Amino acid sequence: MLYTVVKLRKALYGLKESSKLWYDTLSGVLMGAGYSVDTQDACVFHKTGENGELVVICVHVDDLLCVADKIEDLNMLNQEMKSKFRDITVERGDKISYLGMSIERLNNGKEIRISQIGYVNSMLEKFKVVKESKSPSGPEFFNHPKAEDMELVDPSDYLSKLMSVMYLALATRMDVLKEVVFLSTKCKCPNKSDMKKLDKVLQFINYSRRKVRVFKVDDLSIWVYIDAAYGVHSDGKSHSGCVITLGENGGTVDARSSKQSLVTLSSTEAEMVAVHDMVMRGLVIARYYDNWNVNYHRLNSKNQESGGLGVKVLQDNTSAMHMISTGRPTSFKSRHINIRYYHAKELVENGDITFEYCATENMRADILTKPLSGEQFRKLSRWLLNE
């Protein structure tokens, strides 16, 4: 048997080393131009000028999204990239496309709209979606399927639909994120019930195909809504949800929905697990601000003086809030709760987070933990997308 051994002179697309070599090349160019790799994400670069002018670059493989306080900084970056790489395509202006999303700037930059309407239309056409639904799920969404719906379906068809919707949910349509996350746990052996639920999500997208995600840049304070649905999964596990907004009306910058990794024994414990799992997402955003020397996001003077990150955490479970604030269980029934779920107490003492009670009907993360419909779903959906 003969073997041919070759030495590559440059990276080939598809090899596992290629992405690392490309990152090393790109990051070397950017750092040579004075940019720093952000401590929170190796694919985010930033540079601050003498007078505090900020330039931020987000990298997704070979697609770069660049924002700057001064147009001159973008011009310099453009020249630097053209001098190092032969062929680059540049989009500039109040409306650009990035990773299949349309990003539009309105009202002198005070409002940003992000949409995937073209992607939605092609997806609905691909899967021949004709029917419409006013909500993505019903009250039976987490229930065990009926006997007649237990028959298995083709996993490739199921996965094709699911991944198409997943991309949409993660980018612009977080109002279907809970459904997509739950249905992704059924990929190995999907049944008729799972396919019906997935089709209902597509029918809701058909009903609301022109929805967009909106940011209003008038408040940089970080609000983190955290919620849990106790014991909703068939194995007894609970479900966590998190919505992070810029102030009360600035828009959702991050949303997460996930099945908890352990079985909890009460709704209070489920809420504490949700806080433990989700609160760090808000702190990551606050640390971006610190790295960029943006300090006016903190909620009050106490946070400014202490150097705390000043993130507001909103909760609708007063028992969980009390246990976190005291750092210990409140009764014999809660003594079993793992001590690691009290780590938020230290964050409060350091000024990194501040807890505030939020009434259940105003808990924005509810839409990411519970199957809602009617006016409550419409209200939370409007809040989530900031319509």
Reported as a pLDDT band with limits 50, 70 and 90, residue 168 is very high
Least confident residue range of 221-225, 325-329, 351-355, 383-387: 325-329
Return the sign of the alpha-carbon dihedral for residues 114, 118, 122, 125.
Answer: positive
3-state secondary structure 122-136: HHHHHCCCCCCCCCC
DSSP three-state, residue 191: strand
Identify the pLDDT of residue 102. Answer: 96
Identify the pLDDT of residue 303. Answer: 47
> How far, CA to CA in Å, does 221 sit from each of 117, 151, 338, 351?
30, 49, 31, 14
Identify the pLDDT of residue 297. Answer: 53
Look at strands 54-60 and 239-246 and give their pairing.
Answer: unpaired
Q: What percent of the chain has pLDDT over 90?
A: 67
Mean pLDDT of 141-160: 90
Reported as a pLDDT band with limits 50, 70 and 90, residue 43 is very high
Q: pTM of the entire structure?
A: 0.90
Identify the pLDDT of residue 307. Answer: 66
What rounded mean pLDDT belongs to the chain? 90
Q: Does 241 have pLDDT greater than 70?
A: yes
List pLDDT tens digits, range 83-97: 999 888 999 989 999
Mean pLDDT of 255-264: 94
| N- to C-terminal Cα separation, the chain | 66
Mean pLDDT of 150-167: 95
Mean pLDDT of 12-37: 92
Reported as a pLDDT band with limits 50, 70 and 90, residue 7 is confident
Identify the pLDDT of residue 108. Answer: 86
Reported as a pLDDT band with limits 50, 70 and 90, residue 336 is low
Please list the alpha-helical segments (H only) found in the chain: 16-32, 71-84, 117-126, 155-171, 177-184, 192-207, 267-291, 301-306, 318-326, 343-349, 374-385
> How far, CA to CA in Å, does 179 sit from each of 66, 141, 259?
32, 8, 11
Name 363's Cβ contacts closer than 8 Å, sequence gap at least 6. 225, 227, 314, 316
